[in-house]
Structure 1
Amino acid sequence: MSALLEVEDLTAAYGASQALFGVSLSLGEGRALALMGRNGMGKTTTIACIMRMMAARSGRIAFAGHDLARLPAHRAARLGLGLVPEGRRAFRGLTVRENLIAAARRGEWTLERVYALFPRLEERAQQRSETLSGGEQQMLVIGRALMTNPKLLILDEATEGLAPVVRAEIWSAIRALKAQGQSILVVDKSLRELAEVADDCVVLERGRDVWHGTPAALTGDVAQRFLGV
């Protein structure tokens, strides 16, 4: 059975500065893959190439049976890629409900289902997103991505900079999504939380995929060498 997402020998650059050197990864349907590495090692660049927000120099990106190489970003997203980018990027001038509706596509994810996952969003439904706390804004951005009914949910540092109690709530939601069969590509630094979600891990170092394996194997010397933990 073919993978939902396949990235093979991906290279990318910012001008004359090469950022990715032959990155490969594979993610099966209904599985969760952790993309890991220290800051500046190429994780966000890899995601930008997958989402077609950045053109790769070479390599292959296939998603749900489609070659993404020549597609513009909006067409790639419509194939079922849902991104929660770094930072909290809700539409500031819109209410919570308006943010969610703005992204809605037909499918199983509805307002009611998002509110069930994040009850606080229902409580704040008529508030403008700019009045929300940082954690509530992140819940909103995750909810908005789910309203696109993605085949693959991509989470880039979704809990970065949040209070521990909010981080715990968001990780609980991610675990629930995985249990429901949602395919997930997640970038994060927390081995403990990732180990509860991810089936597989890929570690990047200086733009190269240097380690592939399960979370259980990413311990001791391996973790210290590549992640500094």
Structure 2
Amino acid sequence: MTLLSVRHIGAFYGASQALFDVSLEIAEGEVLALMGRNGMGKTTTVKTICRLLPVSAGTVLFDGQDLARLPAYKAARMGLGLVPEGRRCFTNLTVAENLIAAARPGHWDMDRIAALFPQLADRHDQSAASLSGGEQQMLAIGRALMTNPRLLILDEATEGLAPVVRQEIWAAIATLKRDAGLAILLVDKSLRELSAIADRAVIVQRGKTVWSDAMANLTEDITNRYLGV
């Protein structure tokens, strides 16, 4: 069953058009990789889906309901959980306060977050500002999960992290797919890790969807054409 359907959307930053024709779909329990070179519209697509930017054209349907006219907080309440680029933890709050700030009843609670990210379990009373970059990223993911989303959106969740921490984040994402059956939209540059976890991929170039298929069908030619330097 299709959970998210994005059809031919456009979006602007002020007078500058950033998206011209982006389409993608995510089914219940599916992991979709959103790929493309830097500056091609990946984060803008995420912001538009989450209602942080207006939809200038096209449609965004979540569980059959139109998100285009909803404010961001109502879209989130429908089941969109965003881990934004750059983490954006509430640095003046503790780890525990970050986790409960937007918590909603459901499967994900403090104990399950601690099981997924044991590093956070011993730091509940620490301020988020005192955490390492990797721990802040874990906290950002935990905070999104505490909203008990139906779709988790991760925008560059491993960017700028040490290799060992990156692997911990990827292991957690694999656990979410395997054990929680959560639909996930992944924006990342790590082709090897994406290939291991994503069911399908969408590639955007200059604000348009240029390729969409099963991850297994992503050939070297397509990679070089749309993702190579």
TM-score range, shorter chain: over 0.9
Match of 1:54 in 2: 53
Residue identity in the other structure for 2:176: L
Q: CA deviation at 1:23?
A: 0.8
Q: CA deviation at 1:64?
A: 1.5
Match of 1:83 in 2: 82
Distance 1:126 1:196 in 2: 35
1:195 aligns with 2:209: no
Residue identity in the other structure for 2:194: L
Q: How many aligned residue pairs are there?
A: 228
Note the 1:129-140 alignment, pairs <5 A. 129-140=128-139
Q: CA deviation at 1:15?
A: 2.5
Distance 1:14 1:147 in 2: 30
Q: TM-score, normalised by structure 2?
A: 0.98
1:184 aligns with 2:184: yes
For residues 94-138 of structure 1, what are the alpha-carbon distances to aligned partners after superposition, in whole Å with 9 as ceiling and x for unaligned? 111111011210001000000000000001111111000000000
Q: CA deviation at 1:82?
A: 0.2
For residues 174-216 of structure 1, what are the alpha-carbon distances to aligned partners after superposition, in whole Å with 9 as ceiling and x for unaligned? 0000112010000000111011111100000000100011222
Note the 1:56-75 alignment, pairs <5 A. 56-75=55-74
Q: CA deviation at 1:66?
A: 1.1
1:112 aligns with 2:100: no
User: Comparing 106-115 with 6-15, which one deviates more in the overlay?
Assistant: 6-15
Match of 1:45 in 2: 44
Q: Secondary structure at the match of 2:164?
A: helix
Q: Is the CA contact 1:20–1:42 (under 8 Å) kept in the aligned structure 2?
A: yes
Identity %: 64
Distance 2:15 2:90 in 1: 34
Distance 1:219 1:130 in 2: 42
Residue identity in the other structure for 1:76: A
Q: Is the CA contact 1:175–1:196 (under 8 Å) kept in the aligned structure 2?
A: no
Q: Secondary structure at the match of 1:153?
A: strand
Q: CA deviation at 1:65?
A: 2.1
For residues 60-105 of structure 1, what are the alpha-carbon distances to aligned partners after superposition, in whole Å with 9 as ceiling and x for unaligned? 0000221101111110110000000000211111111111011210
Distance 1:219 1:123 in 2: 44
Residue identity in the other structure for 1:214: A
Name structure 2 gaps, 5 residues minimum: none
Match of 1:163 in 2: 162
1:32 aligns with 2:26: no
Residue identity in the other structure for 1:39: N
Q: CA deviation at 1:40?
A: 0.4
Distance 1:75 1:157 in 2: 24
Q: CA deviation at 1:227?
A: 0.4
